[in-house]
Amino acid sequence: MDASLSSQSVPGFFITFEGGEGSGKTTQIERLAGWLREEGRDVVTTREPGGSPGADALRYVILSGAAEAFGEEVEAILFAAARADHVAQLIRPALKAGRIVISDRFHDSTRVYQGLGSDMDTELLDCLERAALSGVYPDLTIVLDLPAADGLRRAAARRGKALPDRFEKEDVAVHESRRRGFLGIAEMESDRCVVVDARQPVNAVADEIARIVEDRLSAHRLERVGHSLGAAVQGAGGA
- The three-state (H, E, C) secondary structure of 154-169, written as one string: HHHHHHCCCCCCCCCC
Indicate whether 79 belongs to the interface with ligand TYD (CB under 6 A).
Answer: yes
Are 182 and 145 in contact by the 8 Å Cβ rule? The answer is: yes
For residue 164, is the peptide bond before it cis, meaning its omega torsion is within 30 degrees of 0?
no
Indicate whether 105 belongs to the interface with ligand TYD (CB under 6 A).
Answer: yes
Give the count of residues interacting with ligand TYD (CB under 6 A): 16
* Rounded Cα gap, residues 12 and 209, in angstroms: 18
Q: What letters, b where the CB count within 10 A reaches 16 and e where it falls short, cover 95-107?
A: beeebbbbbbbbb
Query: Smaller CB distance to ligand TYD: residue 168 or 176?
Result: 168
Indicate whether 109 belongs to the interface with ligand TYD (CB under 6 A).
Answer: yes
Query: Smaller CB distance to ligand TYD: residue 105 or 220?
Result: 105
Q: How far is the CB of 9 from ligand TYD (least distance, A)?
A: 25
Composition of the chain by helix, strand, coil, percent to 5:
60, 10, 30
Residues composing the chain = 239
Looking only at residues 36 through 55 of this chain, which bind ligand TYD when binding is defined by CB under 6 A? 47-49
Are 140 and 194 in contact by the 8 Å Cβ rule? The answer is: yes
Indicate whether 17 belongs to the interface with ligand TYD (CB under 6 A).
Answer: no
Q: How far is the CB of 40 from ligand TYD (least distance, A)?
A: 29
Binding mask 159-188 for ligand TYD (x = CB under 6 A): ------x-xx--------------------
Q: First-to-last CA distance in the chain?
A: 30
Query: Smaller CB distance to ligand TYD: residue 35 or 167?
Result: 167
Indicate whether 110 belongs to the interface with ligand TYD (CB under 6 A).
Answer: yes
Query: Smaller CB distance to ligand TYD: residue 108 or 139?
Result: 108
Task: Give residues in contact with ligand TYD (CB under 6 A).
Answer: 21, 25, 47-49, 63, 79, 104-105, 109-110, 113-114, 165, 167-168
